[in-house]
Amino acid sequence: MPTALSDPSPTWYLVLVVVVVVTGAVWVKNRTRRSLIAFAVSAGVLALLFLIDRLFESPREEASRRVVAMAAAATAVQPDAFVENLSPSFNYKNADREAIRRARAWPEIRAHNTRVAVWGLGRDDFNQVSDTELEIGFYAKAQTPSNEALLRYVKAWFVKDPDGAYRLKTIKFYTPGINGRAEDPVPYFP
């Protein structure tokens, strides 16, 4: 499914809603068959776009879903669930999937009862590099019940695996700041 349909811009929705409202108002005023057809067609196009948007996942939406799933797996201290979202070609500072599964971060997360949250997975920091690769930027925060927090801006690269799913290929962590970003790895990962 084309990305323009499976992940339509909010502008598309706005334009179609305006068209539906205008054609609906014209139909209510004129009550002609032609105005009814125009209203029905515009409402049908809007409904069809909405259905396609909900039924088909775009690459950006899949990457975002996987990022959220990894944050949930980290919070629940489930390394296997986390690693499911990593590509077999995953490499972060010479660490592969198995190194992530055994990372020292997992006992630390459990010991400190850390909650991991992600946000900012919007269109602004998304780039479809090629048909098989994309990059997405977002913010992540690991926070303990005592309000100790580790905040990072994250740049993640996803690759389309042979099964057709996009999975994490590599990742970089940065300290967010007003003077730009400096790369800053997460302690104990991996």
What CA–CA distance (Å, rounded) separates 141 from 115?
8
**The pLDDT value given to residue 47:** 97
pLDDT class of 178 with cuts at 50, 70, 90:
low
DSSP bridge pairs for 159: 133, 167
Supply 5's token pair: 């349909």
**The pLDDT value given to residue 162:** 96
**The pLDDT value given to residue 190:** 82
CB atoms closer than 10 angstroms to residue 112: 14
pLDDT tens-digit profile of 121-157?
989 999 999 999 999 999 999 999 998 999 999 999 9
What CA–CA distance (Å, rounded) separates 159 from 6?
19
Residues 175, 184 contacting (CB under 8 angstroms): yes
Average pLDDT over residues 160-165: 96
Residue 59 CB-density burial (10 A; 0-12 exposed, 13-18 middle, 19+ buried): buried
**The pLDDT value given to residue 179:** 65
**What is the pTM assigned to this prediction?**
0.86
How open is the CA angle 98-100-101, to the nearest 5 degrees?
65
Residue 26 CB-density burial (10 A; 0-12 exposed, 13-18 middle, 19+ buried): middle
pLDDT tens-digit profile of 4-58?
888 999 999 999 999 999 999 999 999 999 999 999 999 999 999 999 999 999 9
